[in-house]
Amino acid sequence: MTDLSTCPKCDSEEFVATAFGLTRGRQIGITTGLVKKVTPSVYVCCDCGYLEMWVDSKEDLQEIRNYYLDKPAVSKETVKI
């Protein structure tokens, strides 16, 4: 991850991570198996409303790497929200 304490759009310092990610009925995630998914952190600017998502942990990145790069024949459907 990068330094996400300042909004990259308006330079506000009110750029915060949400505790539960992005939701619309259920939590958004990156599928890494039949019943597995990685939930990214969602950062929101409280001044301009800009938001972006990051996968913060190296373990989660490795899980995504294993699923998408090491198994090219596996279906890559995304979780629909």
Whose CA is closest to 61, among 28, 18, 36, 32?
32
CB of 4 to Zn ion, least distance (A): 12
User: Residue 1 or 46: which CB sits closer to Zn ion?
Assistant: 46
Which residues contact Zn ion by CB under 5 A? 7, 9-10, 12, 45, 47-48, 50
User: Residue 12 or 27: which CB sits closer to Zn ion?
Assistant: 12
Contact 42, 27 (CB under 8 A): no
CB of 5 to Zn ion, least distance (A): 12
Within a 10 A sphere around the Cβ of 68, how many other Cβ atoms?
Answer: 14
